[in-house]
Amino acid sequence: MAKININTQENTELTSVVKPPIRYFEAVGRRKEAVARVRITEGTPKILVNDKELNLYFPSQDLQEKVIFPLRITSTLNKFFVTVKVKGGGLTGQAEAIRLGLSRALLKFDETFKPILRANGLLTRDARVVERKKYGLRKARRARQWRKR
């Protein structure tokens, strides 16, 4: 049986290479079928959504404004590096899910933002979802046209 020689000097060199963990604040936002995981880190101001720039992922200006609204009202637009992983739903649902997740992450970062975010309705989850289709109807509530004769 061969002996295994463990050199302690090599082990200390390996542990010195490990970088200190980056401090971030993470939160989840949901809207309709969309789910967004948002991470904010203090640093270079940039927003990445699914590894794409914000303006490439959301080409519409109003959706971009929806996403950055929590940063704008808390005056932290040029303070955070934001990364988002979002899936499900359409573009509007995803943008609103990101907005909720970003608001919750900002709240974890600084509790003093709570009155501002609450007053603008950014901490409330919009629970409206598509109503299910019922049997015997065309859609959720739309019935076939009724004929008298």
Q: Is the dihedral of CA 43, 119, 129, 69 positive or negative?
A: negative
Which residue positions in the chain have pLDDT lower than 70?
Answer: 1-20
Mean pLDDT in the chain?
Answer: 89
Question: Where do the domains of the chain lie?
Answer: 23-119
* pLDDT for 22: 77
* pLDDT for 28: 96
Predicted confidence (pLDDT) per residue in 133-143, tens digit: 999 999 999 99
Predicted confidence (pLDDT) per residue in 11-20, tens digit: 555 455 566 6
**Pairwise CA distance, residues 65 & 58, whole Å:** 10
Amino acid at 140: A
**Looking at the chain, which runs of residues are DSSP E strands?**
25-31, 34-42, 46-49, 52-53, 80-87
List of residues 6+ apart from 41 with CB closer than 8 A: 22, 23, 24, 25, 80, 81, 82, 83
23-119: which CATH number, 3.40.50.1100, 3.40.190.10, 3.30.230.10, 3.40.50.720? Answer: 3.30.230.10
* pLDDT for 60: 94
Q: Considering the chain, what percentage of its residues have pLDDT values greater than 70? A: 87
**Pairwise CA distance, residues 46 & 48, whole Å:** 7
* pLDDT for 27: 96
Q: Which of 77, 73, 88 is nearest to 40 (CA)?
A: 77
